[in-house]
Each structure stands twice: as structure tokens, then as C-alpha cells.
Structure 1
Amino acid sequence: MKGVKLHVKVIALLLAVFGAASVAWQIFAQNIPVSAEITEPVWVIDTRISFSPRENMPVKIKQYLPPSWSRFITLDESFIARNYGVNVDTQGNNRVALWSARRTSGNQELFYRLMLTQRSNTRLSSEEPGPVFRDSPQLSGVEAVAVDALLKPIREHSADIETFIREAIKLINDNSNDNARLLLGNNYSEQSRAAVLERLLSSAHIPVEQVHTLRLSDTAQQTPELWMRSYNGQRWLYFNPQTGAQGLPEDRIVWWTGNDPMIQVDGVRNLKVQISSRQRIVNSIELTQSLSESRGMSGWSMAMYSLPLQTQQTFNFVLMIPVGVLLILLLRNIVGLQTLGTFTPVLIGLAFHETGVIWGVLFFTVISCLGLALRSYLEHLHLQLLSRLSTVLTFVVIMMALISVLGHQLGMKHSLSIGLFPMVILTMSIERLSIAWEERGGLHSMKLGLGTLVAATLAHLMMSYSPWVYFIFTFPGTLLVLMAIMLALGHYRGYRLTELFRFKAMAN
């Protein structure tokens, strides 16, 4: 017997560990939300390109797109245009969309929409290597002297790549520095400062490149913001070329790298580019489903959501049955509540989902009382069991139909849902109530009926509690934990709570 108990404990422990590990994997590895009420922001970025084509000339527009290694995850990307071909290619670290048309006339508009989530893109660190060395450019004359003069204090005041770049930015933006003014050539624009900074750092064999970013904010019009970045052998370091601040803010998305503008055109005039962004709030579980589909992730993490919608609705009830069964197990083996059958309260509790608790209890009581009266009459006819049960079942069906028709005539909508009551279960409940009445009296029969209704009500409340329904449907590994608890309770031989009161006088 001890070996059997140990066997059960080992099985229960394995089921609990495996079920808990499955739930933990879905939550922490797959980022599946633990509640259906959790929402997350999704950013929608729209790019509108408007222009007039030149007469009798084909139109070609090259547009830079966000790279695949972005730390934000792309949910959807769409290109909207009439009579234009669109091809997406990769050029270096950039993705490029090429819009083309042979003949167009009138004002033209092209739209590009990008939907992003700020969930971390785990592919970022492994898909974005960079150079760690750069050949020095060939400088001569006064430019070489100015570069050497700027590099000397930078080397003295810096300790690594990060501090070296920040010191260089500080000197380039110092309008009182003669060497910096010489290299800028009286052009103090953002692009000019970035180009001089790139030339200066290249002379120190430090690779650096321009990065154009967009701010994720609710704005109707925004312009790409220029940053600089350098690779230190392990990760990219981002710097603001105006202030020298290090680290790309959390609300920035890298759009493209290099010195070229975002849009390059051929056969076009009066070009206008408008970039806008806005935030949408979406349900986290819907977002996770979209990510699973877009990434082609394994179907096991969202297995239940891959089923047809009607099947999902069915399994919303089916997967909650073990919760009701565990409750009945606790009520019978631990509390000591007496019910009609083992799982009859669970099935009645499922019927309460449509009728409601109050109307469900009323329907069950009325039909059970009328069925008991018929069963008592049939007992005097000395019918066989099968014939008696068939008659009672037919009577139950007739009563359910009458209650539905009468309720409909009186405008009682809840009466129409009585058809969802399990007829066979009602029939067997009436039979068991009648046998209990004959063997142990009417009081015991009433206790059984009341215990069944109490258990059914509690089971209904547990099986219809929305957070639990979502959690078990989304994380079916929870059922293994419930099974482990059921196995652990299988060898319980202690007193039930009701027996403590029952034998209290004997203990005294």
C-alpha cells in the first residue's frame, strides 16, 4: 500500500511540475498575458507621398523603410497606391521600397502604413552586427591640421569609444572653436555637423554612421530626427549630434541609416512627404495572436485559439468542467456535502450558465417536485425500472416544453433556456430522490436535493468566472495541475468537516 501511495505522489508531482512549467513557458517565454483585461499600445505610422509626375516620363520613387532588426516588432506593413508597382529590397542595413509606374497624370498620392508594438524584439541583438574599425580618410592641408588639432584634446579627455564620441560632438558644436568652424565651412546645419563628425571620427579609425529616427507620439506631422551611432564590438551606441546625449530614447524607432534622404524620386516634381503617427490600444491576447501569425510561431503556445470560433466557444465550457469536478471532489471528500450522484451538480451547473442561478434553481425544483409526484404514482403500478425511467423522462420533456411555452406567453425570456437542462440528468435525479425518500425518508431526500443545488450553484459560479475561464482556456497546462490535486486527494481517509460536528458529542 505504501508503494502505491508513493506511486500516486510521484505521478501527482510530475503532473503539477509539467503543468506549471507549461504555464510559465507561455507567460514568460511567449509573453502571453495572464488576464484578458490587459491592453497594450500599438503605434500606427502613416507616410503620405504626394507629387505631380513630369509629362511623358516614367515615375520611380525610392523610399527607405524601417529595418528588420528594429527593436520594435512589426505587426503589419502595407503599401497603398493605384496603378503602381511596389518592390521591397535590401540595400546594406536598409530596406528600400521602390514605387514605379510607366505613365501617370494628375496629382498622385502614395501611402505607406506601418503598425508596431513596443514589445521587445529578441532578434535585435543577433541580427545587427556592425564594423569596429574604419580606414582613415585622406586629408591634406588645412583640413588635416584642423582634424589633428581637434583629435588631440579629445584623446586626452576620453577613456573609451563612448567618451571619445561625446567629446567630439561637444567640440563640433562649440561655435567658438576655430578648428570646428573651419571644418564646418560656415555651414552650421544639422547635416553639416553630422558630416564633419563622421569625418573627424573616421580619422581616429572609429566607424560612425548617421541614423534617422522617428518619435512614437500622437502627432499629425513630424520630421525624422538625425542621430549618430557607432559599434563598439558588442552593441550599437547611439548619440544625439546636437547635445551629445548617449542612448536612443525608448520612444524612438530607427527608420534608415546613411546620408541619403528618406525619399528619392525620378520623373517627379512638387514632392511633399507627410509623416504622422498615432497610438491605438489593443487587447493583449489579440496582439499575441497577431504576433504568433506574423512570426509563424509554433501553434502550441496559442493552440486553443487556432480552433474555429464555434469550437472555441464550446471548449470554453468543456475546459471548465474539471474545475467544477475538483470543487465537487472537495465538497464531498473534505466538506462531506451529500449530493445526487458524483458529477450531477457539475452538469446542472453548466445548465445554469444559460438559465441563470435563480431561474435554474426554480426550474430544477419545480420539475423535480412534479417528477417525484409522478414517480410515487408509478411505484404503485409495479413497473420495471426501464419502463419507469422512460415514462419519467417523457414527463420531464413534456414539463420542460410546457414551461417554455407558458413562459413565452407571459414574456418570461428565461423560460426559453430551460431546454438546455440535461433531461437524462433530471430524470436520474428524480429517480434517486425517490429511492432516497423510500429508504431514508423525506428529510434525507430534501438534504440530497438541497446539497445538489448548493454544489451546482458553487460549480456554476466557479466555471463561469471570467478570469478563470480565460486563464484555463489560454493556459490548458493548468488542467494538469488540477489533475495532480485530484490524485493527491485520492488517498485522503480523514474526517470530513461535517463529521466533526456529527461526532462532536462522542468526542466530549
Structure 2
Amino acid sequence: MSRLAFYLIVGVLLTAGIAMTAHRHLQFEIPWLPGEQRQVWEVEAMITFNAEDGPVSVDFALPSHQQGYRVLTENTASSGYGLAYEASAYGRRANWTTRSAVGQQQLYYSVQLLVSPESRVNAPPPPKLAAATAWERPYGTAARQVIERAWSRSADNATFARELIRDINGERQGENARLLLTQFEATELIVRLLHQAKVRARAVSGLTLENGRRRQTLNSWIQVYSEDDQQWWLFNPATGEQGKPENLLLWEAGGEAVLEVEGGRDSRVTFSMLTHSQPAAAAVRNHHSDDTLLNFSIHSLPLEEQALFQTILLIPIGALVVVVLRVLVGIKTSGTFMPVLIALAFIQTSLITGLLGFLLVVAVGLVIRNYLSYLNLLLVARVSAVIITVIAIISVFSVIAYRMGLNAGLTITFFPMIILSWTIERMSILWEEEGPKEVMIQGGGSLMTAVVVYLAMNNPVVRHITFNFLGVQLILMALILLLGNYTGYRLLELRRFKPITDDEPGT
């Protein structure tokens, strides 16, 4: 393979891994670090009405993902009612129905909202202009004069809406505005005047979030569509201030009624709210995000499989550490990736318990393997005997630890028995061919490498990143390929040149 093709593959892996990782963080707000906290609001809506002893249909607007907030979970309590959710370009609604109801009725809807300043959603399409409605005299003349006065002091739709609101509700309120307010509610009047001026607008309902508040009601706000930049602008109909306050949740943003009850009277909806913090990772897992290829994650699997993959995804980290220590540092190990498997056992047993268990099993195993060498057995039979011996050693140590009340000793069963058996076999052969010094070098290198791998894999940040960002696996693959192309000196080999520097004058 040409060098160009090699570096092209590495570049593609790095680019794809970084892009997938950045997409998970930016699009789905997966935090980079574990333990990050996110603010969550719990809002409960209570709908009350008097049923008229007949069929009842309750239509209620629901909040959606919007700028600053994401819906995590939602629940309802409506005994005896059927429930259906409906979604359109203008928002979501819940519809409760029943064949017969009489007397006081209460329906509950609760939602958890994640505070997400980075959250952005596609704006709903602009509404059609309402058909012109004839004004009764003298209201028509007053409406035209109010529109002309605000229009002359504006430059676009947004500034026109601001000036119109101030003329209706502000200090500049004149006789024409006061006359119109005798027949119309302020928000309804402002929207009607905006439509008359060919400006697309609608009244929306928002909830001001304040911790610990009960029996709160929705407030009216006005959205104005700007033809120039094709986006919505939100205005306070009382003051004319433009922009969305941080603690404002738009409950109904389609310009429709918040609550409609058929078969009942005296309907009312009130809201209670609380806020708390929870781990960011847990909050993100509850997002109502589509499970698409771009949102590919382990979180879609059952919890049992998630726990399994949380450990499996750490193995590439261990492989990278082994490659660095063997290729760049030059540490010798007994088996290429045996330290990774030993480090996985350390994660289950804890480091100190794992080290003691490993040394005990290998030491006793070497003594027994030394005896087996005098029997002149075939390789397969000898290794099989070592495997049985390792199992017996682990069983004996576990029973002894239990009898002594050392529960930590029971975790020695997590060691990979086949790998331990081959390690004992390989060290025994090495002892016979190279001597005890080489056994100590490779055995010590294996243990040191296993400890370094354990520290890397057991790091909370590493565990969080490998589990939540699968693109990291591609980045690790690219780094390992680059290290596999290294042909320079290892750090431990530099000691060979020390005699040369010692012989140089002045050293």
C-alpha cells in the first residue's frame, strides 16, 4: 500500500471520528465531562371544569422543543378518560375524551424540561393574514389613525409592532387607542391592527418559570413575522419590549386556544412548577430525539447490554496504551495484549486485590508447571493441565478468603483463566530458555503495563467519553495506525548509546 493511501485512510478515520464526536456534543448536547449538572424544570398543569353529564372532549396545548428548553419526559393523570396526542407544524396538543362525565373534573399533565441555552428548533410557518374585518364607526377611523401614527415612526415590521404596542399600552396612548380598548382586549387589538397593516402576527401563550410557584396562569405574548430575515420576533404586549426572557416558556406558540372543552363549563388551567438539577448524561438520555443513524449510540440498547458495552469500549484505550508502551517506550510484556485483559480483571477486583491475586496465582502456577515439565507431556496436554491447575488455585484461594472473612478475595474469579494459564506456560518456557532474569523483565513489564492500562481505562473521564462518543473509536484506530508506522528508536534502547557519550571528552 502506498504511503498516500495509508495517510488518506488515517485522515478519513480522524475526520470521521472527530465529526461524529462533535456532532454528538453539539446536536444532542452530550457533555464532555462526567458529573456535569443541568437544570431541569418540572411543570404540572391542572385542568378543572364542570362536566354536563354527557360526552366530554378536552383539547389542551402542550409545550414543544423550543429555544432554551427541551422536553425530557411527560406524564398525564386522567382516570376514566382516553388520551391521544396530536402534532402539527404549529405545535402539539393532547385530547382527552370520555363518553360520560358529571360534576367537577380534574385532569393533570406534567412535563420535565431541560434548560438548554443551545437548543434551537425550526420556526413554524408564518400564519396567513386574517381576512379584513369591517370596523364599526367610529372605530375604523381610530384604527387607521393608530396604524398610520406607528407606521410613520417605524422602519420594518419589528419596529412597527414595537411602536404600535407603545401607542396602545404605553405612555403615548392617545384618545384613539383608549376608544379601541373599550371594545377589544389589548392583545387581540394589537394583532388585529397588525393584520390590517399587512403584518403577519399572532398571539401566543407563555408561562413565566419561577421556582416553587403554584396556581400560576399563562400570559399573552405577541409574535411578529419579519419578512426581511424570515424569523419570528417576540414582543411583550404590555411594554413593547422585544425578545424572549430566559425564564419564559412558550406553552402554546401556534396562535390557537390553549384549552378547549366540549361538554363542560367553567374550564380553567393552572400551573405549578419546581426546578432541580440532575446529571447531564441522565438528562440527555431522556431526550425525545429520533433514533437516526446520526444519533447512533449505545443508549438505545437494553441496560444489560449497555453495561457490557461500557467495558468493551474501554479495550481500544488499553490497546492504545500497550502500543505506546511497546512501540515508543520499548517495554517487554508476556503476550501482546495480555496486560489489557489483566487490567480488565483489575477493574472488577480493585487494583491492590488484583495485583496480589495475580502474583499468587502465577507464582503457584509456575511451581506446579515446573513439576509438569518433568513428565514430558505434549503441549496440548500440558497447557490443559495448567488450565485445570489455575482453576483449582483460584478455587482454593477463594474458599480460603471466604473462610477468613476477606470478601475482596472472592473477586479473584474475575481473572481470565485461559490467559493466566498461557501466561504461566509462556513464563515457564522463558525461564528454561532465557533464565529467571528475562522472566522478571517480561513479567514486571506485563504487570506495569497492566497497571498503566488499568489507570487509563478506570478513569471516569475516559469511561464517559468512550461510552457516549462512539466516534472516539475511529480516532483511536487512526492513532494506532500511525503508531504502527513508527520505525524509530524506543526510549529504553537509548541506553545502548550511553557508553558512547561516556567516552566522549568532557563528559
- Please give the TM-score of this superposition, normalised by the length of structure 2: 0.87
Structure 1 distance, partners of 2:11, 2:262, is 69
- Compared CA separation, residues 430 and 65, structure 1 to 2 (3 A): same
Q: 1:238 to 1:369 in 2, by over 3 A?
A: closer
Task: Name the amino acid aligned to 1:209.
Answer: R
Q: Displacement, 1:243?
A: 0.9
**1:429 to partner: Cα distance:** 2.0
Q: Which residue of 2 aligns with 1:8?
A: 6
Alignment partner of 1:391 out of 378, 385, 388? 385
State the AA in 1 paired with 2:322.
I
Of residues 188, 196, 202 in structure 2, which corresponds to 1:195? 188
* Residues paired across the two proteins, number: 496
Q: Cα gap change, 1:441/1:297 in structure 2, threshold over 3 Å: closer, same or farther?
A: closer
Partner of 1:464: 458
Q: Which residue of 2 aligns with 1:130?
A: 127
- Amino acid across the alignment from 2:462: W
- Alignment partners' CA distance in 1, 2:254 and 2:427: 83
Aligned to 2:505: none
211-220 or 22-31, which deviates more: 22-31
Which residue number corresponds to residue 214 of structure 1?
207
Aligned mates of 2:88, 2:453 — CA distance in 1: 61
Contact 1:171 1:177 in 2 (8 A): yes
d(CA) in 2 for partners of 1:332, 1:139: 87
The Cα shift of 1:445 comes to: 1.9
Q: Is the counterpart of residue 415 in structure 1 residue 409 in structure 2?
A: yes
* Mapped contact 2:217–2:271 kept (Cα < 8 A): yes
Of 15, 24, 28, the residue aligned with 1:26 is: 24
Q: Which residue of 2 aligns with 1:156?
A: 152
How is 1:340-419 mapped onto 2 (pairs within 5 angstroms)? 340-419=334-413
User: Is the partner of 1:255 in helix, strand or coil?
Assistant: strand
CA distance, structure 2, for counterparts of residue 369 and residue 91 of structure 1:
70
Task: Describe the superposition over 1:421-452 as per-residue Cα deviations: whole angstroms up to 9, x where unpaired.
Answer: 12222222223322333333323322222111
C-alpha offsets along residues 380-433 of structure 1, whole Å, 9 cap, x if unaligned?
Answer: 444443343333333222211111110000011121111221222222222332
Q: Specify the SS of the correspondent of 2:138.
A: helix
Change (3 A) 1:433 1:96: closer
Gaps of 5+ in 1: none
Per mean C-alpha deviation after superposition, the further-off stretch among 440-449 and 61-70 is 61-70
Q: Structure 1 residue 204 and structure 2 residue 202: aligned?
A: no
Name the SS for the 2:295 alignment partner: coil
Offset at residue 271 of structure 1 (A): 4.7
- Aligned-pair distance for 1:116? 3.2
> Do the aligned partners of residues 89 and 199 (structure 1) sit closer, same or farther apart at CA in structure 2, a change above 3 Å counting?
same
Partner Cα separation in structure 2 for residue 264 and residue 6 of structure 1: 67
Post-superposition shift, 1:87? 5.0
Q: Moved runs in structure 1, 4+ residues, more than 6 A? A: 257-261
1:241 aligns with 2:237: yes
Pick the aligned partner of 2:111 from 95, 109, 114: 114
**Residue type at the aligned position of 1:103:** S
Matched, 1:255 2:248: no
CA RMSD, 1 decimal = 3.0
Aligned partners of 1:39 and 1:283 also within 8 Å: yes
Deviations 1:68-103 (A, max 9, x none): 685444444444222234455679956554544443
Cα deviation 1:247-275 (Å, max 9, x = unaligned)? 22233233336998644445545655321
* Partner of residue 434 from structure 2, selected from 435, 440, 444: 440
After superposition, the Cα gap between the structure-2 partners of 1:176 and 1:463, relative to the gap in structure 1 and judged at 3 Å, is closer
- Partner Cα separation in structure 2 for residue 15 and residue 264 of structure 1: 55
Q: Which amino acid aligns with 1:150?
A: V
Residues 196, 130 of structure 1: CA spacing in aligned structure 2 closer, same or farther, 3 A cutoff? closer
Using the size of structure 1 for normalisation, the TM-score is 0.87
Q: Which residue of 2 aligns with 1:288?
A: 284
One-letter identity of the residue aligned with 1:356:
S
Alignment CA distance shift 1:441-1:196 (3 Å)? closer
CA contact (8 A) 2:56 2:100 kept: no
- How many angstroms does 1:155 deviate by? 3.2
Structure 1 residues 111 and 8: alpha-carbon distance in aligned structure 2, compared to 1, 3 A threshold: same
Q: Is the 8 A contact 1:221 1:276 kept in 2?
A: yes
Letter in 2 for 1:212: S
